[in-house]
Amino acid sequence: MDLPEPILAGLQAMGKEFDLNRIILFGSRARCTNGERSDMDLALYVKDTKQYYNILDYTEEMETLLMFDIVDLNGSAVSSDLLDEIRRDGVILYEKV
C-alpha cells in the first residue's frame, strides 16, 4: 500500500465522523503500482446520497493535491469486475469496531 500517513489519518477520521463500517483502498495504490500523482481509489458503503456527497466534500477539503475516486458499494452501478478487483487487491484502511 502506498499512502502518505497524513492522508491515512484523514481517511480514518472520515470513517469515524461519517460512522462508516469500512473504507477500502483499491487500485494502483493498493497494489503499489501507482505513479506519483495517481488518484486514490476508495470503496465504501454509504447510507444515502446525501452522505455520499458529504464524503466527496470532505475528501476535497483534505490537504492533498491527490484526487479521490470514491465508489459506493451500495450503488447498483458497481460491476462484478470492479467488485472482484476490490476483493482481490483491496486494503482496509478503516474498519468500525
Beta-strand pair 68-72/91-95: unpaired
Q: What is the pLDDT of residue 76?
A: 67
* Helix pair angle (5-17, 49-61), 10° resolution: 150
Q: What is the pLDDT along the chain (97 residues), one digit of tens a residue?
A: 778 888 899 999 999 999 998 999 999 999 999 888 888 999 998 888 888 899 999 998 888 878 899 998 887 688 889 999 999 999 999 998 8
Q: What is the pLDDT of residue 51?
A: 87
**CATH number where 73 lies:** 3.30.460.10
Number of domains making up the chain:
1
Enclosing domain of residue 19: 5-95
Distance CA 76, CA 85 (A): 17
Report the predicted TM-score, pTM, of the whole model to 2 decimal places: 0.87
Output the CA angle 43-8-92, nearest 5 degrees. 40
